[in-house]
């Protein structure tokens, strides 16, 4: 769960019409912004206010993961020592957490799981500190966020800016659009590592504790579309005061994979299911029952 100041920016755009071949009516969804594309071709399938800038909360972490996984020479087995700074940050912000323990040594791969499943802002901090460059933690955080913005520029995104490695934005200068975020997700999902991570409903993983023993971390995926909608393969939730409930989603049905975005949708999972149904000829949204998260699991 994230907080941040409000942001509303340029122009809105009406929902684009559906392909002529589709027989059913275009679904009505709750989201203020949405987008759906064909992963194989990049063809736009649905769009609603696709180029209106909005805050994105923890869906920011898809770019965090993309930057890490596309870092030249990245060693996913490299171990990172968890600092008390990361825990203090999560406590101060009231943020979602992987509950990483000070002094534990966890791998970059494990941090990606901690980032994407329980939406750990501590994991995001650890990754930014590990991958950014500079002689201080502050410098490395700034460097990492610069890498996020550089990647957005490389992808040709005109309406996306990051001032945060996890979506917590005090100034509100952490924004995107449905179209841009779908582009980021499509790029990020080219990583086989990320595809493996985001489709996992949960994971148990062992790390070296601060005392040299073994600590087992158990993380549950906050994305309740997984295990609820047939064919769902990811991707990332996000919720914030200004952003509202957000979702990057992906599913493969009938041999086709679609990637979509919901920004500020009070019924984000049903919205996603409706859009996926529409382009696969299914009707699962009507009867879908969401996978329940166990008590104590993070919600985002």
Active site residues: 58, 61, 119
Q: Is 227 exposed, middle or buried (0-12, 13-18, 19+ CB in 10 A)?
A: middle
**In terms of residues, how long is the chain?**
300
With tokens 């919205």, the residue in question is 271
Q: Which of 45, 50, 48 is nearest to 280 (CA)?
A: 45
* Half-sphere exposure of residue 7: CA atoms within 13 angstroms, side-chain side: 29
H/E segment holding residue 114: helix 108-116
Residues 241, 243: Cα–Cα separation, whole Å: 6
User: Tokens 């841009």 identify what position?
Assistant: 180
Instruction: List CB contacts of 114: < 8 A, sequence separation 6 or more.
Output: 98, 100, 106, 120, 122, 123, 217, 219
Return the C-alpha torsion angle 111, 270, 7, 119, nearest 10: -10
Q: At what angle do helices 121-131 and 137-154 cross, to 10 degrees?
A: 90
């Amino acid at each position: 769960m994230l907080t941040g100041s409000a942001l509303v920016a340029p122009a809105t755009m009406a929902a684009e019409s559906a392909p002529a071949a589709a027989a059913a009516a275009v679904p009505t969804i709750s989201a203020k912004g949405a987008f759906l594309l064909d992963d194989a071709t990049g063809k736009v399938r649905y769009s609603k206010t696709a180029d209106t800038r909005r805050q994105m909360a923890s869906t920011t972490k898809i770019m965090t993961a993309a930057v890490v996984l596309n870092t030249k020479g990245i060693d996913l087995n490299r171990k990172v020592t968890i600092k008390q700074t990361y825990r203090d940050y999560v406590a101060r912000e009231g943020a979602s957490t992987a509950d990483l323990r000070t002094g534990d040594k966890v791998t970059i791969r494990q941090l990606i799981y901690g980032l994407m499943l329980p939406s750990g802002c501590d994991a995001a901090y650890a990754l930014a500190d590990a991958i950014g460059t500079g002689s201080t933690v502050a410098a490395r955080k700034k460097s990492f966020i610069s890498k996020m913005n550089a990647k957005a520029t490389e992808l040709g995104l005109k309406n996306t800016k990051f001032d945060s490695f996890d979506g917590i934005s005090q100034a509100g200068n952490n924004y995107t659009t449905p179209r841009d975020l779908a582009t980021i997700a499509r790029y990020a999902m080219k990583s086989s590592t990320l595809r493996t991570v985001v489709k996992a409903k949960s994971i148990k993983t062992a790390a070296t504790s601060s005392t040299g023993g073994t600590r087992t971390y158990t993380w549950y995926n906050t994305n309740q579309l997984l295990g609820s909608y047939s064919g769902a393969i990811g991707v990332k939730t996000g919720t914030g005061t200004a952003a509202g409930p957000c979702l990057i989603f992906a599913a493969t049905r009938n041999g086709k994979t679609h990637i979509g975005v919901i920004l500020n949708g009070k019924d984000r999972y049903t919205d996603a299911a409706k859009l996926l149904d529409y382009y696969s000829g299914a009707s699962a949204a009507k009867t879908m029952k969401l996978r329940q998260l166990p008590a104590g699991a993070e919600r985002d």
